[in-house]
Structure 1
Amino acid sequence: MLDNADLGKLILRVTLGGLLLFHGIAKLFNGIGFIESQLASHHLPTVLAYGVYIGEIIAPLMVLLGYHTRIGALIIIFNMIVAIALVHGHQLLALSSNGGWALELQGFFLFNALALVFLGPGRYKLKS
């Protein structure tokens, strides 16, 4: 018999990990020059840009597969806080042209990762 809570956690993991993974794959193909420029504009070492591969590829895979899910979710939270601070800080209290929060996507990733930190992976996961 299916446990609805475990199925819900699986859906949350697949959604968060799957959607964020697309961002990481795009960076694999298109590079991280934009992130390097953002870091440089904040007087931070550009080598830190390579951390996006951990935050948008490794961590989403961990969440997606249910392998050390809470650690992967914490990495995603850190990744999103850095992204908001570097690029989107001026939009924190802004609305988009269609009336939604200007940071809906970033908020989705951040708060769903936070939910997974508290919920854990559920039953449907890789053994860890």
Structure 2
Amino acid sequence: MLENTDLGKLIVRLTLGGLLLFHGIAKLFNGIGFIEAQLASHNLPAILAYGVYIGEVVAPLMVILGYQTRIGALIIVFNMLVAIVLVHSHQLLSLAGNGGWALELQGFFLFTALAVVFMGPGKYKLKN
């Protein structure tokens, strides 16, 4: 039987970090006005919106590279929890039009990052 858990961990890291990084890059190009508005609607300072760059650019790069992977993944977990509370809490028990969970993407990022926190980076990583 073919078994290579380190390769599996690399695939999970690249998938989590790569897919979330696209969201961060979109925010770099298009701004974070939506997030600032969401924070303001919850009576939170709009300046906190800049934290999304840490959660969707810096942390995914940490996970992809395997540098301080568990810390990067924990930042992603926090980022996703904040996103769910601020924007998606009304959808927690909702189904999407196609029959899937309305929060499958957010759930994927949250629970995959949590798995990486517990698994660690594996051997295919930057030395740290």
Q: Which TM-score bucket, shorter chain as reference? A: over 0.9
Aligned to 1:84: 84
RMSD of equivalent CA atoms:
1.0
Aligned to 1:72: 72
Distance in 2, matches of 1:3 and 1:47, equals: 46
Identity across the alignment (%)? 81
Aligned to 2:16: 16
| Structure 1 residues 75-128: Cα deviation after superposition (integer angstroms, max 9, x where no partner) | 000000000000000000100011100000000000000000010000000001
| Pairwise CA distance, 1:64 | 0.3
Distance in 1, matches of 2:79 and 2:116, equals: 15
Compared CA separation, residues 35 and 54, structure 1 to 2 (3 A): same
Aligned to 1:4: 4
Q: Give the unaligned 5+ runs of structure 2.
A: none
Aligned to 2:114: 114
Distance in 2, matches of 1:53 and 1:3, equals: 36
Q: Aligned pair 1:38/2:38, yes or no?
A: yes
The residue identity in structure 1 corresponding to 2:103 is L
Within 5 A, what are the aligned runs for 1:88-107?
Answer: 88-107=88-107
Distance in 2, matches of 1:26 and 1:65, equals: 20
Distance in 2, matches of 1:4 and 1:99, equals: 34
Alignment TM-score, normalising by the size of structure 2:
0.98
Aligned to 1:53: 53
Distance in 1, matches of 2:3 and 2:101, equals: 33
Distance in 2, matches of 1:4 and 1:94, equals: 37
The residue identity in structure 2 corresponding to 1:67 is Y
| Pairwise CA distance, 1:3 | 5.9
The residue identity in structure 2 corresponding to 1:72 is G
Distance in 1, matches of 2:24 and 2:35, equals: 12
